[in-house]
Amino acid sequence: MKYRSIIKGWKRFLQEGANAVACPKATQDVKLNTINRNKCRDDHMYGPMNPLDESNSFWQKIANKWNSASADEAKGMRCGNCIAFDVSPRMRECIPIVQSQYKDEPVLNGKNNITFNIKIENIEGNSFDDIDKKIAKKKAADFPDMPENADAGFGYCWMHHFKCHGARTCDTWAGGGPIVDDDQSYDEQEKINQE
């Protein structure tokens, strides 16, 4: 038992040392992130477009995807409390594009030594990006019917591989999140790598 925990600790040490390599690809590549986000929007109803609005028709529509869920119940099922939603400290290091949105200024990613600028978000120039900029600084209370156990910022989705916002959702939501610690985040990455 002790031996296994030493091995696990050593693996963690190596992973942390190689963090720049271990960051999910979409966190380092805005185009890939945008492609994956649009795919989730088109194939899995990632939305609502603007979570600051009531968006009742969206919530009713996605509730119909989950048998017997009401629109009110659907409003409680957000990225921010989904099992695939990663807001661990190491993931926040991995997603400087998101960090730049929080801070509204260029941010140096310490591990990769690369400076990202908020303008990079405009690479595809669509309204999702415009709204993402608006919601980046909002608090949980700003989003109608936001559940208390959901994180209201951006995080990384391990299921669809893009940075999603905690106040949105998609039709593959699963409870149990968010992922808030590094060990859990690394475990998730290990699982994905083994698939």
User: In the window 165-184, what residues touch ligand SF4 (CB under 6 A)?
Assistant: 169-170, 172-173
Alpha helix (H) ranges present in the chain?
A: 2-17, 19-22, 25-28, 30-44, 56-65, 71-75, 89-94, 96-103, 127-135, 182-194
The answer to whether the beta carbons of residues 91 and 185 sit under 8 Å apart is yes
Tell me the per-residue interface mask from 63 to 102 with ligand SF4, x by CB under 6 A, - otherwise: ----------------x--x-xx-----------------
Q: What is the DSSP track for 155-176?
A: EEETTTTEEEETT-B-TT--BS
Which tokens sit at 59? Answer: 């919530």
> In this chain, which stretch among 6-14, 22-30, 126-134, 164-172 interacts with ligand SF4, using CB under 6 A?
164-172
Q: Name the residue nearer to ligand SF4 (CB basis): 111 or 168.
A: 168
How far apart are alpha carbons 182 and 62 in whole angstroms? 31
**Which segment (5-13, 68-76, 88-96, 152-160) binds ligand SF4 by CB under 6 A?**
152-160
Number of residues lying near ligand SF4 (CB under 6 A): 14
In the range 110-149, which residues lie near ligand SF4 by CB under 6 A? none
Interaction pattern, residues 4-43, with ligand SF4; x per rule: CB under 6 A: ------------------------------------x---
In the three-class reduction of DSSP (H, G, I as helix; E, B as strand; rest coil), residue 116 is classed as: strand
- State both tokens at 10: 């050593």
Q: Which of residues 39-68 bind ligand SF4 (CB under 6 A)?
A: 40, 46
* Rounded-to-integer distance, Cα 76 and Cα 81, Å: 9
The number of C-alpha atoms within 13 Å of 128 and in the hemisphere containing its C-beta is 19
The region of 13-21, 91-99, 138-146, 156-164 touching ligand SF4 under the rule CB under 6 A is: 156-164
Min separation Cβ 65 and ligand SF4, Å: 12
Write out the residues near ligand SF4 by the rule CB under 6 A: 40, 46, 79, 82, 84-85, 157, 159-160, 164, 169-170, 172-173
